[in-house]
DNA sequence: GATTCTCCATAGCGATCGATACGAAACCTG
DNA sequence: CAGGTTTCGTATCGATCGCTATGGAGAATC
């Protein structure tokens, strides 16, 4: 992968790159890529511009590293839900309820960085918008994969379209992200998730939240 | 309301404000409020900066007028669906299927301006983000009102939470807006809408699209 | 025709954008 | 210690941002 910490001499860093990246991630999460200025990043990261550029190359690279960190630290619920040894319906339930929690964590920006990061962008930032779109597409593909696995295991009726349903689930999660950004509480998002679950075929009865 | 066209003398305008506003609206729709620069607006509207500022005050006012125009010209399907003399389920069906069409019109930016316009914003543009949030909240409130009316008419079971369901429907529409932005076709959005409809109580059978 | 009003086009305003040049400082290896 | 290397802090860089000052042009009113 990458050369992790190999200084062959030279002045040591006076800051923690991990903490700095976290601060940048939260700022991008809150304001999006383009609306987050270097001045804001400077203050939130507690660094001078040369420190930022020496450690993270440029703003675009910093944002991509923030995306990767977000993917690793903030949305583990998704991978867990998709890989847990449970029924397909239960997997989707965990996915949506996990999103309800992750999108409305106190002290964190509402919604999902992959949605808020750059839904609309200037022509110069088109590459960033495309990168986020790729993340969203990958999420949808992961859902489709889980649904297909469910069909293969006889867990999900053969009649339903895996791609269509994955697009629905991914769409609901994106919608939850916006609702969270508009101030929806965990409970409200949970109710939304439960409602969305009712569209699933093979309707077993559900229990209280 | 406003003084509509009352020049008591003076040099006449050399451009059509309506067409200029349309061009601005589409640009904001595509790139969002902050990422749309005056240079882009100049080119798209075919105007010089003083022409823009004389006719529309400033960028923020121009954006608000673009929002109003969008509301009037692009999303009439919503009001139609909510006020049509049909069952509640049919009203919601028309709402979602109308969104599928409106969010993926050829030659138009994908999704809804109320979502793409400023989901994330810099602190300076917070007022704009709040305005868009207000539009989204109003849409949700309109849905809730329609659902409440359905309950009052015995059209919708008393048990379901009107607010919760409205949040679900609004959330699905927001999700459709993002899926449309990611390139979803009309058919794909229609399938998403049909899937979302299955979560509605009082499940009458549906017919082909 | 003189006055008055509004809009036109050119040019450029101060502020902020992302990104750097520069030289001193702090660590390693000899 | 000298030599090499990397990061440090300070002070900006050119480009672009939203916006406007200025003076002339074109229309209604008197």
A173: nearest Cα among B119, B175, B139: B175
Q: What is the pLDDT of residue B1?
A: 39
Q: Is residue B206 part of a domain?
A: no
For residue A59, the model assigns a pLDDT of 98
**End residue of a domain, out of A70, A98, A114:** A70
Domain that holds residue A80: 74-197
Indicate whether B96 and B191 sit together in one domain: yes
Q: Is residue A139 part of a domain?
A: yes
Evaluate whether residue A176 is within a structural domain. Answer: yes
Secondary structure in 3-state letters for chain A: CCCCCCCCCCCCCCCCHHHHHHHHHHHHHHHCCCCCCHHHHHHHHCCCHHHHHHHHCCHHHHHHHHHHHHHHHCCHHHHHHHHCCCCHHHHHHHHHHHHHHHCCCCCCCCCCHHHHCCCCCCHHHHHHHHHHHHHHHHHHHHHHHHHHHHHHCCCCCCCCCHHHHHHHHHHHHHHHHHHHHCCCCHHHHHHHHHHHHCCCCCCCCCCCC
Q: Would you say residue B203 lies in a domain?
A: no
- Encoding tokens for residue B142? 């309109």
Query: Is the domain of B62 the same as that of B151?
Result: no
Q: Which nucleotides of D are covered by protein (CB under 7 A)?
A: 3-12, 16-22, 24-29
B121 touches chain A (CB under 8 A): yes
Ramachandran class of A121: left when φ > 0, alpha when ψ lies in -120 to 50, beta otherwise: beta
Q: CA at B66, C1' at D29: how many angstroms apart?
A: 35
Secondary-structure breakdown of chain B: helix, strand, coil percentages, each rounded to the nearest 5: 65, 0, 35
Distance in angstroms, CA of A3 to C1' of C29? 20
Does A69 score more than 50 pLDDT?
A: yes
* Domain annotation covers residue A151: yes
Q: Do B124 and B53 lie in a common domain?
A: no
Would the Cβ of A11 be found within 7 angstroms of any atom in strand D? yes
Query: Is residue B37 less than 8 Å (CB to CB) from chain A?
Result: yes
Q: CA-nearest residue of chain A to B129?
A: A182
Regarding whether A184 and A96 lie in a shared domain, the answer is yes
pLDDT at B206: 37
Angle of the A162-181 helix axis to the A88-102 helix axis, nearest 10? 20
Q: Which nucleotide is nearest to B50 (CA to C1')?
A: D20
Q: What is the DSSP letter of B13?
A: P
The H or E element spanning position B194 is helix B186-197
Please give the distance of CA A146 from its chain centroid, rounded to a whole number: 18
Residues B92, B193, single domain; the answer is yes
Same domain, A81 and A153: yes
Give pLDDT tens digits for A71-112.
Answer: 999 999 999 999 999 999 999 999 999 999 999 999 999 999
* pLDDT tens series, chain B, 209 aa: 344 455 567 899 999 999 999 999 999 999 999 999 999 999 999 999 999 999 999 999 999 999 999 999 999 999 999 999 999 999 999 999 999 999 999 999 999 999 999 999 999 999 999 999 999 999 999 999 999 999 999 999 999 999 999 999 999 999 999 999 999 999 999 999 999 999 998 644 333 33
Per-residue buried b or exposed e for A117-147, using 16+ beta carbons within 10 Å of the residue's own CB: bbbbbbeebeebbebbbebbeebbebbbebb
Q: The CATH number of the domain where B106 resides is what?
A: 1.10.357.10
Residue of A nearest to B190 (CA): A164
Whether nucleic acid strand D comes within 7 Å of the CB of B121, the answer is no
What is the reported pLDDT for B9?
75
- The Cα A120–Cα A138 span in angstroms is 19
Domain shared by B158 and B102, yes or no: yes
- Based on the domain organization, do B112 and B186 belong to the same domain? yes
pLDDT at A1 over 90: no
- pLDDT reported for residue B52: 98
Residues of B152-173 as b/e, b for ≥16 C-beta within 10 angstroms?
eeebbeeeeebebbbbbbbbbb
> Do the Cβ atoms of A192 and B136 come within 8 Å?
no
**Which phi-psi region, left, alpha or beta, contains residue B183 (left: φ > 0; alpha: ψ -120 to 50)?**
left
Q: Let me know how many helices (H) and strands (E) chain B has, helices first.
A: 10, 0
Which pLDDT value is given to residue A7? 56
By C-alpha distance, the chain B residue nearest A33 is B120
Q: Please check whether residue A61 is in contact with residue A50, taking contact to mean a CB–CB distance below 8 angstroms.
A: no
A184 touches chain B (CB under 8 A): yes
- Chain C positions with any atom < 7 A from a protein CB: 4-12, 16-22, 24-29
Same domain, yes or no: A129 and A149: yes
Shared domain for B65 and B97, answered yes or no, is: no
The answer as to whether B7 is a domain residue is no
Q: Over chain A, what is the mean pLDDT?
A: 93
Interatomic CA–C1' length for residue A52 and nucleotide D12, angstroms: 17
Domain boundary among A35, A54, A70: A70
Specify if B79 maps to a domain: no
| Residue B204 within a domain | no
For residues B155 and A121, give the distance between their C-alpha atoms in angstroms, rounded to a whole number.
43
Per-residue model confidence (pLDDT) at position A201: 83
Question: Is the shortest CB-to-strand distance from A48 to strand D under 7 Å?
Answer: yes
Please indicate, yes or no, whether residues A124 and A171 belong to a single structural domain of this protein: yes
Q: What CATH number corresponds to the domain at position A23? A: 1.10.10.60
Beta carbon pairs, A and B, within 8 Å = 139
Tell me which residue has tokens 């389920």.
B89
Answer whether residue A3 shows pLDDT above 60.
no
Q: Please tell me whether residues B66 and B92 are part of one structural domain.
A: no
Contact between the CB of B37 and strand D at under 7 Å: yes
The structural domain count of chain B equals 2
The answer for residues whose C-beta is within 8 angstroms of residue B2's C-beta and 6 or more apart is none
């Amino acid at each position: 992968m990458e050369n992790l910490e190999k200084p062959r001499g030279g002045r040591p860093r006076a800051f923690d790159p991990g903490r700095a990246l976290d601060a940048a991630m939260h700022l991008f999460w809150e304001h999006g890529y383009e609306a987050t200025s270097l001045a804001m990043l400077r203050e939130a990261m507690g660094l001078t511009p040369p420190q930022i550029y020496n450690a993270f190359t440029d703003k675009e690279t910093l944002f991509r590293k923030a995306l990767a960190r977000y993917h690793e630290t903030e949305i583990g619920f998704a991978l867990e839900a998709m890989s847990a040894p449970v029924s397909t319906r239960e997997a989707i339930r965990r996915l949506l309820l996990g999103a309800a929690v992750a999108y409305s964590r106190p002290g964190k920006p509402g919604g999902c960085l992959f949605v808020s990061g750059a839904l609309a962008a200037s022509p110069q930032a088109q590459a960033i918008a495309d990168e986020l779109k790729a993340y969203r597409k990958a999420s949808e593909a992961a859902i489709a994969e889980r649904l297909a696995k469910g069909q293969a295991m006889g867990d999900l009726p053969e009649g339903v379209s895996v791609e269509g349903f994955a697009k629905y689930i991914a769409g609901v999660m994106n919608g939850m992200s916006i609702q969270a950004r508009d101030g929806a509480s965990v409970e409200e998002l949970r109710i939304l998730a439960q409602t969305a679950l009712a569209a699933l075929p093979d309707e077993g009865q559900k229990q209280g939240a």
